[in-house]
Structure 1
Amino acid sequence: MSEDIKTFTISVYTENNIGLLNRISAIFQRRHINIESLTTSQSEIDGVNRFVIVVNVTKTNAEKIVKQIEKQVETIKAYYHTDEETIFTESCMFKIKSELLFEEPQIQNIIKESNTRIVTVNKEFFVLEKSGRRNEIESLRRDLNVFGIMQFVRSGRIAVTKDEMKITELLSAFNNQ
């Protein structure tokens, strides 16, 4: 019986070193696994960065990836979680011609119904910002595409776990070395 492929969020806590991103992405490349989303940022501990990587793999592959990532010298700890075990979101921005904001009442309805925020408006364009699940963002993109999108960008996933993680104590101990 073969394992099901699921979406996993892999969290990697690391020192902030040059070249680490290349080595981590090479782990996925060697296994022919596509990274669906990748976000890096500071973690809750000064001097420790966090990668949030989204992949569609089997649980066995998620375990193997985490073990390989943890072999990297700069990696402090890595985890994997299913969508059910995490709270996650993405953000996006749309740049659209300003005239549409005033000439197309449907655009105002779309903005209101999708809980989208207007970031800026000028004579040439306006910019919308939306945070939410990937399907919400894609739905908004389809709705706005009808009117013409000048630019679109979407962030990678950001996520926290539903369960308490003992990573803060581990990171504090690392930071005090």
Structure 2
Amino acid sequence: MQKEYTVTVYTEDRIGITNRITIIFTRRGINITSLTTAETEIPGVYKFIITVMSTREKLDKVVGQIEKLIEIHRAFVHEEDEVVYQELALYKISTKSLESGDIERLIRDHQARILTITADYFVIEKTGHQQELTDFIKKLEPYGLIEYSKSGRVAIVKWSRRFHEHLKELQASSEA
């Protein structure tokens, strides 16, 4: 049965690694719905956070193929309850909506905040899960929603401490 999974991949910093990882998903017919990457707390080690709809069996095969790439330290498949995650959304709204004052209450009630205000528009920032962010769009539309942009998933794995200790040991041995 298909459901949403988060795949984390720890890599070295190499040109073309994103392409090499995504091709493995493409060959298996798995669509990536979100991909975020950034350097970890260990210099030179990058973490890919990939969100997909798939079956566990297919993903286990994909992770096995990914781990065969030379630049990969490890790759993992996570169920939703194994990760703490958020996404970030920015909403550009017409400044005219500030005149009534109703939108300020809406922003506060949804734990969002205003990042910037210009003569023509202002930008709201909100973090949350995907459905929460898209539901907020519907509430903002009557106020003159101009534009919306959302990040991919940012996640922390609940049980990853031992693996991070392993990465730190690798870093220490390479520095010695």
TM-score class, shorter-chain normalisation, is over 0.9
Q: What residue number does 2:56 align with? A: 59
Structure 1 segments, 4+ long, off by >6 Å, are none
Match of 2:151 among 152, 155, 175: 155
Q: Is the CA contact (8 Å cut-off) linking 2:24 and 2:66 kept in structure 1?
A: yes
> In 1, Cα distance between the equivalents of 2:127 and 2:17?
28
Q: What residue number does 1:34 align with? A: 31
Q: Are residue 18 (structure 1) and residue 15 (structure 2) matched?
A: yes
> In 2, Cα distance between the equivalents of 1:155 and 1:31?
25
> In 1, Cα distance between the equivalents of 2:114 and 2:155?
24
Q: Which amino acid aligns with 2:110?
A: S
Q: Which runs of 5+ in 1 are unaligned?
A: none
Q: Are residue 99 (structure 1) and residue 96 (structure 2) matched?
A: yes
Q: Is the CA contact (8 Å cut-off) linking 2:37 and 2:49 kept in structure 1?
A: yes
Q: Output the TM-score relative to the length of structure 1.
A: 0.92
Q: Is the CA contact (8 Å cut-off) linking 1:89 and 1:157 kept in structure 2?
A: yes
> In 2, Cα distance between the equivalents of 1:34 and 1:100?
38
Per-residue deviation at 1:170? Answer: 2.0
> In 2, Cα distance between the equivalents of 1:52 and 1:77?
12
Per-residue deviation at 1:165? Answer: 3.2
> In 2, Cα distance between the equivalents of 1:38 and 1:146?
31
Report how many aligned residue pairs link the two structures: 173
The one-character-per-residue Cα deviations of 1:93-129 (angstroms, maximum 9, x if unpaired) are: 01111111223x4322321211111111121110100
Q: Output the TM-score relative to the length of structure 2.
A: 0.92
Per-residue deviation at 1:7? Answer: 1.2
Q: Is the CA contact (8 Å cut-off) linking 2:83 and 2:158 kept in structure 1?
A: yes
- Percent identity among equivalent residues? 37
Match of 2:112 among 116, 120, 130: 116
> In 2, Cα distance between the equivalents of 1:73 and 1:146?
51
Q: Which runs of 5+ in 2 are unaligned?
A: none
